[in-house]
C-alpha cells in the first residue's frame, strides 16, 4: 500500500528510476566490480577472479529479492550485498569480494554515481527552463507593465525584465550544480578510518584506480566517509533552486490574483475543476504546488548540515537521515523543475489588465520622471522632489490626474510646457535601458550552457 506522496503523486520517472532500489543495488555492485578490477591491476587478487566478480556484479545475478532476504538475517545492508555477490561467483572468486574495503567505501562511491545521474537530470531541466524563460523575455521585452515594490505601484517595467531576471538566476543555479557536482561526485576506497591500511602500501593507488574505473575523481582525503560538507553543499544548491522556482511561482500567483489578473497559468475549462463547492474558481494550483514543495526541499538543508559533524572518524547518525533526504530532495527538486517548465510553457497574458493596472494610479507612477525632467531643465533636485511630492499627494487624495495638478502650479511653466508634461506622463516610454539590458542577457545566454 502506497503511503508517501512520492510513490504515487510527486516525482518524474527519470529521477525516480535513479533512486529506485534496483538501480541503487546496481551502483553498489558497480563499485565492488571496480574494486576487484583495481586490485587485479595491482596484482592483489587474480585477474580471473576479478573478472568473475565483475561478471556477476549485476542485478541479473544478484537480485534485489535475494539481497533483501539476506539483510533480514544479517541486519546489515552492505553485508547482504556482499554475500549476494559472493554466492553467485564461480569457484573461489567470491572469497575476494570486498577485500580491503569498508561498507562506506561502497555506500559513498555508489552514491556519487547516483548523484552524478541526478545532477545531470537537474542540469538538463534547469537549462530547459532557463531557455524557455529567455524566449519569453525576448517576446515580451516591450510589454510594459507596472513594477511593484513593497506591494505598491512603483515605476513602469516590462515583462521582458521579469523573465530575463529569472533566466539569469537559473543560469547561476546551473553553475552551482556544476560546482557542487565537482566536489560531491568523487570515489573513495580507503578502508575503516581512511588510511587504506588493509590494502597495504599500495592502498592509495587502489583508491585512485577505483575512481578511474568508475569515471569519478578520487577523494583527496577521507576518514570512514566522504566529508558531508560536500553533501550539504549539494542540498543547499537544491534548496536554492527550489527558492528560485518558488520566487517564479509566487510572482505568477500574485499576478493571477483577481484584482490584478495580468498573467496566470492555463486552466482547461473542459476538464479542470477549481473547487468542489465554488464552480467559478480557477486556482493557480501548479504554482501553489511549486511553492509548497519548495518549502520541503529547503527544510532538508538543516539535516544535511547537521550530518557533517560526526563523532571522531565517523558515527552512524548521518546514515538513516541521508536515506530519506537524498532521494527525496532530488526527486522533489526535479519534480518542481518539471512543474515550472509546465507553468511557464502555458502562461496566459491578459493584456487589457496589464494596461489597466499600468494606468490605475492616474499618473502617480510617473512622479519620478517629472522630478527628473524638472531637474534636467534647471530646477534644483530637492525643490523638484518637494514640488512633485506635494502634487502627487494632492492628486492621490482627490483622485485627480497628476498631470492636471502639475499644470496648475506656476513654478512648472518656466521648465515644462503642457506638451512636455503630456509626453512625460506616458508610462510606455519610461522603461530606461530595459531593452538594452534584456538584449545583453539574451546575447550572453548564447554561451551559458
Query: How large is the average pLDDT for residues 407-429?
Result: 94
Q: Compare 171 and 265 and report the one with higher pLDDT.
A: 171
What's the pLDDT tens digit per position in 324-340? 999 999 999 999 999 99
Confidence category of residue 296, pLDDT binned at 50, 70, 90? very high
Residue with cell 543555479: 173
Q: Can you give the pLDDT at residue 271?
A: 73
Give 219's DSSP letter: P
Residue with cell 545521474: 117
> Residue 145, SS3?
strand
Give 297's DSSP letter: H
Distance CA 104, CA 83 (A): 16
Domains of the chain and CATH, by start: 1-99 (1.10.275.10), 107-360+432-449 (1.20.200.10), 364-424 (1.10.40.30)
The answer, yes or no, to whether residue 353 has pLDDT greater than 90, is yes
Q: Can you give the pLDDT at residue 282?
A: 74
What's the pLDDT tens digit per position in 110-135? 999 999 999 999 999 999 999 999 99
Sign of CA dihedral 183, 186, 191, 197: negative
Residue 231 catalytic? no
Cβ-proximal residues to 8 (8 Å cutoff; 6+ apart), any chain: 2
The answer, yes or no, to whether residue 93 has pLDDT greater than 90, is yes
The answer, yes or no, to whether residue 169 has pLDDT greater than 70, is yes
Distance CA 432, CA 435 (A): 8
DSSP 310-328: -STT--SHHHHHHHHHHHH
State which H helix or E strand residue 157 sits in.
strand 152-158
Distance CA 426, CA 405 (A): 16
Distance CA 115, CA 178 (A): 12
Residue 275 catalytic? yes
Distance CA 31, CA 213 (A): 9
Considering 275, 345, 417, 444, which one is annotated as catalytic? 275
Residue with cell 510606455: 428
Q: Compare 270 and 46 and report the one with higher pLDDT.
A: 46
Query: How large is the average pLDDT for residues 250-262?
Result: 96
Q: Compare 229 and 271 and report the one with higher pLDDT.
A: 229
Residue with cell 507593465: 145
Nearest 5°: phi and psi at 263? -140, 165
Query: How large is the average pLDDT for residues 388-399?
Result: 93
Confidence category of residue 269, pLDDT binned at 50, 70, 90? confident
Query: How large is the average pLDDT for residues 415-442?
Result: 96
Give 347's DSSP letter: E
Distance (Å) of CA 177 to CA 102, 174, 196, 262, 341? 29, 5, 31, 33, 18
C-alpha cell of residue 284: 493557480
Nearest 5°: phi and psi at 155? -135, 165
Q: Can you give the pLDDT at residue 334?
A: 98
What's the pLDDT tens digit per position in 191-223? 999 999 999 999 999 999 999 999 999 999 999
Query: How large is the average pLDDT for residues 301-307?
Result: 97
- Alpha-carbon torsion angle 160, 162, 168, 174, nearest 10: -120
Nearest 5°: phi and psi at 444? -65, -25
Residue 8, exposed/middle/buried by CB under 10 A (0-12, 13-18, 19+)? exposed
Distance CA 368, CA 149 (A): 14
Confidence category of residue 268, pLDDT binned at 50, 70, 90? confident
The answer, yes or no, to whether residue 281 has pLDDT greater than 70, is no
What percentage of the chain reaches a pLDDT higher than 90? 94
Confidence category of residue 1, pLDDT binned at 50, 70, 90? confident
What's the pLDDT tens digit per position in 136-166? 999 999 999 999 999 999 999 999 999 999 9
Distance CA 310, CA 344 (A): 43
Query: How large is the average pLDDT for residues 35-47?
Result: 98
Residue 185, exposed/middle/buried by CB under 10 A (0-12, 13-18, 19+)? buried
The answer, yes or no, to whether residue 276 has pLDDT greater than 70, is no
What's the pLDDT tens digit per position in 64-76? 999 999 999 999 9
pTM for the whole structure: 0.94
What's the pLDDT tens digit per position in 171-189? 999 999 999 999 999 999 9
Confidence category of residue 275, pLDDT binned at 50, 70, 90? low
The answer, yes or no, to whether residue 314 has pLDDT greater than 80, is yes
Q: Can you give the pLDDT at residue 277?
A: 60
Beta bridge pairs of residue 157? 145
C-alpha cell of residue 24: 541503487
Amino acid at each position: 500500500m502506497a503511503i508517501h506522496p512520492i510513490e504515487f503523486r510527486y516525482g518524474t520517472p527519470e529521477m525516480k528510476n535513479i533512486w529506485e532500489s534496483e538501480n541503487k543495488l546496481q551502483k553498489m555492485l558497480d563499485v565492488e566490480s571496480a574494486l576487484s578490477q583495481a586490485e587485479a591491476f595491482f596484482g592483489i587478487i587474480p585477474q580471473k577472479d576479478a573478472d568473475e566478480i565483475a561478471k556477476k556484479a549485476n542485478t541479473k545475478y544478484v537480485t534485489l529479492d535475494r539481497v533483501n532476504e539476506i539483510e533480514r538475517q544479517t541486519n546489515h545492508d552492505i553485508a547482504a550485498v556482499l554475500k549476494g555477490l559472493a554466492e553467485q561467483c564461480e569457484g573461489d572468486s567470491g572469497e575476494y569480494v570486498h577485500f580491503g574495503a569498508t561498507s562506506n567505501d561502497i555506500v559513498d562511491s555508489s552514491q556519487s554515481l547516483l548523484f552524478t545521474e541526478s545532477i545531470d537530470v537537474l542540469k538538463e531541466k534547469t537549462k530547459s527552463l532557463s531557455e524557455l524563460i529567455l524566449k519569453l523575455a525576448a517576446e515580451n521585452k516591450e510589454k510594459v507593465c507596472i513594477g511593484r515594490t513593497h506591494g505598491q505601484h512603483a515605476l513602469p517595467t516590462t515583462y521582458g525584465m521579469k523573465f530575463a531576471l529569472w533566466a539569469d538566476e537559473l543560469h547561476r543555479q546551473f553553475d552551482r550544480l556544476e560546482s557542487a557536482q565537482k566536489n560531491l561526485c568523487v570515489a573513495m576506497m580507503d578502508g575503516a578510518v581512511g588510511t587504506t591500511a588493509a590494502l597495504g602500501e599500495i592502498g592509495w593507488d587502489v583508491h585512485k584506480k577505483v575512481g578511474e574505473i568508475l569515471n569519478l575523481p578520487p577523494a583527496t582525503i577521507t576518514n570512514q566517509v566522504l566529508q558531508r560538507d560536500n553533501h550539504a553543499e549539494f542540498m543547499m544548491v537544491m534548496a536554492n533552486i527550489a527558492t528560485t522556482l518558488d520566487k517564479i511561482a509566487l510572482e505568477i500567483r500574485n499576478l493571477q490574483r483577481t484584482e490584478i489578473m495580468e498573467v496566470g497559468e492555463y486552466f482547461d475549462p473542459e476538464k479542470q475543476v477549481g473547487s468542489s463547492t465554488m464552480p467559478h474558481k480557477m486556482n493557480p494550483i501548479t504554482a501553489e504546488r511549486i511553492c509548497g514543495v519548495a518549502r520541503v526541499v529547503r527544510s532538508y538543508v538543516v539535516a544535511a548540515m547537521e550530518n557533517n559533524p560526526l563523532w571522531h572518524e565517523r558515527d552512524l547518525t548521518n546514515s538513516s537521515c541521508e536515506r530519506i533526504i537524498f532521494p527525496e530532495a532530488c526527486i522533489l527538486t526535479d519534480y518542481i523543475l518539471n512543474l515550472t517548465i509546465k507553468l511557464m510553457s502555458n502562461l496566459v497574458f491578459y493584456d487589457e489588465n496589464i494596461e489597466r493596472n499600468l494606468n490605475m494610479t492616474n499618473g502617480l507612477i510617473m512622479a519620478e520622471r517629472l522630478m527628473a525632467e524638472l531637474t534636467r531643465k534647471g530646477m534644483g533636485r530637492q525643490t523638484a522632489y518637494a514640488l512633485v511630492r506635494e502634487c502627487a499627494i494632492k492628486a492621490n487624495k482627490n483622485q485627480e490626474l497628476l498631470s492636471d495638478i502639475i499644470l496648475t502650479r506656476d513654478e512648472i511653466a518656466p521648465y515644462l510646457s503642457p506638451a512636455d508634461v503630456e509626453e512625460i506622463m506616458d508610462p510606455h516610454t519610461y522603461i530606461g535601458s530595459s531593452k538594452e539590458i534584456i538584449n545583453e542577457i539574451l546575447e550572453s545566454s548564447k554561451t551559458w550552457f
